[in-house]
Structure 1
Amino acid sequence: MVSNKVSSHDTLVNVSQVENHEEVIDLLELFKSVLKYIKLIIVLCILFGVGGFFGTKLLIAPTYTASTSIYLTPQISESGSLDYNSQMANSKLVTNAVNLLTQDNIMSEVAKDVGLDSASSVKNVVSVSNESNTEIITISATTTDPKLSKDIANDTVSTFIRTMQKNLNVRNIEVVDKAKLSYVPSGPNVKKNTLLATMVGFVLGCGYATLRFLFDNRLRTKEEAEKYLGIPVFCEIPEL
């Protein structure tokens, strides 16, 4: 009984080893199949990379970003000290200011000042961020016109400060740095787009080679015939 168990166990081990060996052979064959199309893959990478480079340069308009920052100064108590309640109130004011900066009433005023159609057209190009653990808020505007970007960023801040002072009597907002005119494009990223396009060409080339391998059912060599049929090949006719 013991010998039977051992032999059956050996048989299972041998079968699993054969299956693992066959899986390794399949992966090697797939790799070899991909290598057969290495020239095609290289050509696709070059074509897509060149297309991504010139497409970004010629078809995508450059964008310009202008940024300005405001600082919400903490309220000082009558004794001249900064208490905990004042700090908490100022932190909440910072959170509210980030949301209020892009409200429709602010954006509508900015649209009128800079000559845009609607509040949504301004809101789409404005981004507001708050540096963690600070009372500094950064307002950025990105458009295809550097002067328009500067005007939107500065006018958003001035309109916001004016509205807060008039409606909520908040007077502890200071402009840290006004947006400046810059003719250096902030986008698009030519290197990133070129690399992405090259990767697309590489994936397409490898995908084509893999599909050709998966759908190719022909037996090309004696070894493939023996593996598929499970019987030895005694002779083969040479190609004439």
Structure 2
Amino acid sequence: MNYEKIRRDDNIINVTNIADDEDAIDLLELGISIIKYIKLIVLLCLVFGCSGFFGTKLLIAPTYTASTSIYLTPQISESGSLDYNSQMANSKLVTNAVNLLTQNNIMSEVAKDVGLESAESVKKLVSVSNESNTEIITISATTTDPKLSKNIANDTVSTFVKTMQKNLNVRNIEVVDKAKLSYVPSGPNVKKNTLLATLVGFVLGCGYAVLRFLFDNRLRTKEEAEKYLGIPVFCEIPEL
């Protein structure tokens, strides 16, 4: 009884090893099939890479970003010291300021000043961020016109400061750095688009090679015939 069990286990091991060998052979053949189409893969990589490069350069308009920063100085208590309550109040004010900067009343004023149609059109061009653990708020404007980007960023800050002083009597806002005119494009990312397009070409080329391998059922050599048919080959007809 123990002998039969050992024989069964040996058969299972042998079958498993044969299956593993066949899988290894299939992977090897797949790799060889991909190598056969290496010229096609390289060609697709070049075509897609050049398309991504020239498409980004010629078809996508460059964008320009202008940024300005404001600092909300903490309120000093009557004793001349900065207490915990003042710090917490200032932190809440920073959070509120980030949200208030893109409200419709401010964006509408900016739209009128820079000559845009509506507050929504300005809001799409403006981004507001707060550096972690600081009272510094950065306002950035990105458009296809560097002058317009600078004007939107600076006008957003000036309108916001005036509104806060007039409506909420908040006077602890200081402009750290005004937006400057820059003709260096901030986008689009030509290198990134070219790399992504090249990767698409590589994937398509490898995919084509894999599909050709999977759907190709032809037997080309004597060894393949013996392997897949399980019978010996006694003769071959040479190609003339």
Q: Is TM-score (shorter-chain normalized) higher than 0.5? A: yes
| CA–CA distance in structure 1, aligned partners of residues 196 and 212 of structure 2 | 24
Per the alignment, residue 233 of structure 1 pairs with 233
Question: Structure 2 counterpart of 1:94, which letter?
Answer: V
| CA–CA distance in structure 1, aligned partners of residues 119 and 51 of structure 2 | 36
- Do structure 1's residue 52 and structure 2's residue 52 form an aligned pair? yes
TM-score, length of structure 2 as denominator length: 0.97
Per the alignment, residue 190 of structure 1 pairs with 190
Deviations 1:142-182 (A, max 9, x none): 00000000000000111111111111111111100000001
| Alpha-carbon shift at residue 235 of structure 1 (Å) | 2.5
Matches within 5 A, 1:121-200: 121-200=121-200
| Alpha-carbon shift at residue 234 of structure 1 (Å) | 2.8
Matches within 5 A, 1:1-240: 1-240=1-240
| Alpha-carbon shift at residue 188 of structure 1 (Å) | 1.0
Secondary structure of the equivalent of 1:120? helix
Aligned identity (percent) is 84
| CA–CA distance in structure 2, aligned partners of residues 234 and 18 of structure 1 | 25
| CA–CA distance in structure 2, aligned partners of residues 100 and 227 of structure 1 | 74
TM-score, length of structure 1 as denominator length: 0.97
| Alpha-carbon shift at residue 67 of structure 1 (Å) | 0.1
Of the structure 1 ranges 222-231 and 201-210, higher mean CA displacement relative to structure 2 is found in 222-231
Secondary structure of the equivalent of 2:187? coil
| CA–CA distance in structure 1, aligned partners of residues 11 and 109 of structure 2 | 82
| CA–CA distance in structure 1, aligned partners of residues 224 and 159 of structure 2 | 77
Secondary structure of the equivalent of 1:138? strand
Runs of 4+ with deviation above 4 angstroms: none
Segments of structure 1 that go 5 or more residues without pairing to the other structure are none
| Alpha-carbon shift at residue 232 of structure 1 (Å) | 2.7
Secondary structure of the equivalent of 2:112? helix
Question: Structure 1 counterpart of 2:76, which letter?
Answer: I
| Alpha-carbon shift at residue 111 of structure 1 (Å) | 0.6
- Tell me the C-alpha RMSD between the 2 structures: 1.0
Question: Structure 2 counterpart of 1:16, which letter?
Answer: T
Question: Structure 2 counterpart of 1:180, which letter?
Answer: K
Of the structure 1 ranges 49-58 and 145-154, higher mean CA displacement relative to structure 2 is found in 49-58
Question: Structure 2 counterpart of 1:224, which letter?
Answer: E
Segments of structure 2 that go 5 or more residues without pairing to the other structure are none
Of the structure 1 ranges 139-148 and 88-97, higher mean CA displacement relative to structure 2 is found in 88-97
| Alpha-carbon shift at residue 200 of structure 1 (Å) | 1.0
| Alpha-carbon shift at residue 9 of structure 1 (Å) | 0.2
| Alpha-carbon shift at residue 224 of structure 1 (Å) | 1.8
| CA–CA distance in structure 1, aligned partners of residues 198 and 234 of structure 2 | 48
| Alpha-carbon shift at residue 233 of structure 1 (Å) | 2.3
Deviations 1:87-135 (A, max 9, x none): 1111111111111111111111111110001111111111111111000
Secondary structure of the equivalent of 2:69? strand
| CA–CA distance in structure 1, aligned partners of residues 224 and 107 of structure 2 | 71
